[in-house]
Amino acid sequence: MDQFFRALILSAGYNTALVCIGATILGASAAAIGTFVLLRKRSLVSDAISHSTLPGLAIAFMIQAVVTGDGRFMPVLLIGATLSAVVGLFAVQWITSRTRLHEDAAIGSVLSVFFGLGIVLLTVIQTMNTGKQAGIASYLLGSTAGMLMSEVQTIAVASLIVGVLIFFYRRQFTIVCFDPDYASVSGYDVQRIDLIMMALLLAITVIGLKVAGLILIVALTIIPPVTARLWTDRSAIMVYISALFGGLSAYIGAAISSVDYGLPTGAVIVLVAFSLFILSLLFSPNRGVFAVALRRRRSIAELRALSAAAAAKANAGKAVESGSSYEDRASVNHGTATRQAAEAAS
């Protein structure tokens, strides 16, 4: 516990502090780009991207192992991961544009096939005599334990660059997300902006591999944006809330996992992010479970009051026709109340 708090206030040693800061920048950038990807309704693309890094990682590892005897040098691994993720992304695009298959089938097939191929290559690596194979396993589930400081710095700087680029392109992204046709008519190059969005998503996925692992980096681009969506309806604000949640999850997660060597960083970060999501789902003022329940109760109470008033009026006099008018009033009021509730909710 003590170690956790010290990690939290960045005084558990230089290395831990650097890991926490690096993870925070990564989490914030991943969440920011994830916001636009969510608004573009392509959240699961990151799943395809991250799984399709595995063959590239494995091939880069093998080449390095043969050439230098040690396959673990991170920049080369990341280049391999990027190349195969690009191939995976284009495979998704190729299948959806050339065939009648929908995006979900394209994403699912690409991620499973690339991952399958990656596992075939991993079993080859396992039987190679050279190359210190243990290093590659940390990319599956993410591990900040035993990371080199140069690696942490690379991750932090690269995430920061991606974050700045997202900030720079935020208006273009927003327009393309909400109305691609309007954007195209107003002179924006929609295809180019989409491509930049995907490139930044791909970049942050590859950068985050070592920290979160290739299965869970997806969560960093999906969970914080969905959480932010619960708090606001304005995209400009949503990006910042999302980045805040993403950074916070990564920061707390990295701090917790620094306490014990055996804690997988990716899993801890994802669970922190998911806890924030559950809290938001319950307590968000607009879309939260409690807020919705409260609103429903209020509109029912309002309805009851109205029909009680109508009934009292009916009892007071005008016997025959008021019976039917009571029915009408109640149903009309019911309609208004539901509409108001719907308007308030949306």
Partner 1 sequence: MNQFVQLELVPLLVGVLASIACALLGNYLVLRRQSMIGDAVSHVALPGIVVAFILTKSMSTLPMFLGATVAALITVALIEFIKRIGRVESGAAIGVVFTAMFALGVLILERSDTSSVHLDVEHALYGNLESIVWFAASGWQSLIDPAALSQIPMQLPRIAIVVLVILAFILMAWKELAIGTFDPEFAVSVGARPKMTNALLVTLVAVAAVTSFDAVGSIIVIAMFICPPATARLMTNNLRRQFGWSVFFATASAVIGFFLAGHSAQIFRTPSSVSAAGMIATVSGAFLALATVAGPRKEGTRSAWFS
Q: Which of residues 110-139 bind partner 1 (CB under 8 A)?
A: 110-120, 122-124, 127-128, 137
Site for partner 1 in 227-256 (CB under 8 A): 229-230
Question: Could you say which residues in the range 68-97 bind partner 1, by CB under 8 A?
Answer: 92-97
Q: How far is the CB of 204 from partner 1 (least distance, A)?
A: 15
Q: Could you tell me if 273 and 219 are in contact, meaning their C-beta atoms sit under 8 angstroms apart?
A: yes
In this chain, which stretch among 24-32, 71-79, 221-229, 242-250 interacts with partner 1, using CB under 8 A? 221-229
Q: Is 73 left (phi over 0), alpha (psi -120 to 50) or beta?
A: beta
Which of the residues 173 through 192 are near partner 1 (CB under 8 A)? 180, 184, 190-191
> Which is nearer to partner 1, 17 or 218 (by Cβ)?
218
First-to-last alpha carbon distance for the chain, in angstroms, is 42
Q: Give the integer Cα–Cα distance in Å for 85 and 155.
A: 18
Distance in angstroms (rounded) separating the CA atoms of residues 215 and 264: 12
How far lies 72's CA from each of 8, 14, 78, 175, 321, in Å? 29, 23, 10, 41, 86
Q: What number of chain residues touch partner 1 (CB under 8 A)?
A: 76
Based on CB atoms, which residue is closest to partner 1, 219 or 314? 219
With CB under 8 A as the contact rule, the residue among 27, 131, 225, 246 that binds partner 1 is 225
Q: How far is the CB of 106 from partner 1 (least distance, A)?
A: 8
* Nearer of residues 96 and 322 to partner 1, judged by Cβ: 96
Measured from the CB atom, is 12 or 44 closer to partner 1? 44
Footprint of partner 1 on 19-58 (CB under 8 A): 38, 41-44, 46-47
Q: Which of residues 254-273 bind partner 1 (CB under 8 A)?
A: 262-264, 266-268, 270-271, 273
- 219 interacts with partner 1 by CB under 8 A: yes
CA distance linking residue 138 with residue 153, whole number of Å = 18
**Nearer CB in complex with partner 1: 105/161:** 105
Q: Which is nearer to partner 1, 137 or 301 (CB)?
A: 137
Which lies closer to partner 1 via its Cβ, residue 93 or residue 322?
93
Subset of 302-341 contacting partner 1 (CB under 8 A)? none
